[in-house]
Chains A and B, each alone.
Chain A
């Protein structure tokens, strides 16, 4: 009995240690966001006088609302455009073996290319060949990186079980398209939502394309936050407050992501 309790204590100590490693930076940012610049840099860390002045400053002294709006626009649009296309691509790959293994391997390989490699060609395309406004360029770039990623995730959701349901629907009189939209998609919806949420978060946090393809008016949150780090120094306290505000939507989405991802992965339990 005693040894069991000791083992449990040891387990919790180890897990607690790991949790602290993960939570510490976030707690640090939280502390900084609630203090002034002078206190923020003090070592050992002090809490000092706590206030929401940095959060107010984020909205009054900077373009935080615009950055936030741009990020929402880009992430929502990129997800809405890439999700249906990725679902159809994943379906084609899973059902008809379209492209065979080279296609899906290519899709996976595309995720391994360092983003910086693709930025220059994209920059040239969007500045000279197809000049489009910054936000549109960033959205297209995000569609390009999200689509294969989402398709790769979703391919496993269109497995044998959904195939049989589709066959039942086709014998019931549905065309392939009707079977896909009325049976396969609703049944695979948890997985599709999970892929969409992952794509949204990927787009929300994306920095490089947003920095290089956008301009001042199309700055997203990731780029906007980086701009608080200036030649004149780092606006550390407002930066911390803005970072936490930028994290908020992602934190709100995470419980849904977890739920739908688990549901999506357990689609095989339909029978």
Chain B
């Protein structure tokens, strides 16, 4: 088991004027036994960061430490980390058994010990019957298990998972997600999981590290990042549908904060968000999660918004409505209970839970603290 620390780490491709900073001076500490998720859109630098940790990509600037020891110049073979790739990277000319044994043989482990480790891991992952098959004879899900088994059998200091679930179908992905969570709980080994799937990020990790353009935007426990996004990027990236971001104008009048959104108004007591008063008289971005919009008022802290229904997605346990503010204003989404008779084009009055509102500065896109 290991802690992994990145100190102002950068990865620069090219040189001079054409140099590209794929990862730009990031600082992060992954604690021993933690399940860290690197989340972000394609090209945000999450895989490059993982590859730097694995030793497959050189660290251009900064320091990378594993268990407090600088490993910038240590060969991947000596870092004792196991990586599971998106396309599994199973050795096609070897059987499943040999794939699993490869790393152990290189370390000079005795045949008997190799055999017992493979048997134990194969049983855990349910791949005993596949041990003598070649990768080409396996289905996608089986290959994924074998790739995981090859990593597990080594009992490394940490597991690095580079989007290992993204090639699986939705059902299998959900099963493997649960299995990985269980595995982490059983082993207690440090895991870093790279994904662009926010469901994986929310459900699997003890902490999420959200990246954009080679920089870390926010690090925190999934619920904290969800509840308190630091900027509009995080607010718009997590969850499906994401947080509604509506252009608004903030004023303070009669001891109340008044948010005017395309002719409609949401009022809330000044005392509930005193910090917002500093932005009075300015344009802001109002953040509102789809699940914080309701059909009926919820307690006293609600404000009505008149909308027009644009699409209705009945998902079974819930229904997602896409709406326009007013008749043809900004688009927003609402997550409502499944029962309801909604017709496209009809007007609908929704009630926003004003205790769950977020405000962002349109210039910096940063969250405006309420206190």
Contact = CB atoms under 8 A, between A and B. Distances in A.
Interface of A: 164-165, 167-175, 178, 182-183, 186-187, 189, 270-271
Contacts of B106: 172-174, 178
Given A173-B107, A174-B106, A178-B106, A168 B77 contact: no
Contacts of A270: 92
A170 B78 CA distance: 9
Contact of B83 (A168, A182, A183, A186): A168
B101 to A, nearest CB: 10
B150 interface: yes
B103 A173 contact: yes
Contacts of B233: none
Given A171-B81, A173-B103, A187 B87 contact: no
Nearest to A168: B89
A189 B75 CA distance: 27
B75 A170 contact: yes
A171 B91 contact: no
B226 interface: no
Contact of A187 (B75, B92, B103): B92
Given A178-B106, A187-B92, A187-B93, A171 B75 contact: no
Interface string B97-133: 0000011001100000000000000000000000000
Contacts of A271: 87-88
A174 B77 contact: yes
16 contacts: A164-B89, A165-B92, A167-B76, A167-B89, A168-B83, A170-B56, A171-B79, A172-B77, A172-B154, A173-B80, A174-B77, A174-B102, A175-B77, A182-B102, A187-B92, A187-B93
A183 B76 contact: no
B54 interface: yes
A172 B75 CA distance: 11
Residue among B83, B87, B89, B93 with the highest chain A CB neighbour number at 10 A? B89
Given A168-B85, A172-B150, A187 B77 contact: no
A182 B154 CA distance: 18
Nearest to B140: A271
A172 B156 CA distance: 10
Given A168-B85, A171-B56, A182-B102, 16 more contacts: A164-B87, A165-B91, A168-B83, A168-B89, A171-B77, A171-B79, A171-B82, A172-B106, A173-B77, A174-B102, A174-B103, A175-B77, A186-B93, A189-B93, A271-B87, A271-B88
A187 to B, nearest CB: 6
A58 to B, nearest CB: 43
Nearest to B150: A172
Contacts of B103: 172-174
Contacts of A182: 102
A183 to B, nearest CB: 6
A164 B81 CA distance: 16
Nearest to B78: A173
Nearest to A267: B92
A2 B61 CA distance: 73
Contacts of A175: 75, 77
Contacts of A186: 93
B76 A170 contact: yes
A167 B77 contact: no
A261 to B, nearest CB: 18
B102 A169 contact: yes
Nearest to B54: A171
Contacts of B150: 172
A253 B54 CA distance: 44
Nearest to A166: B89
Contacts of B160: 171
A194 to B, nearest CB: 16
A176 to B, nearest CB: 8
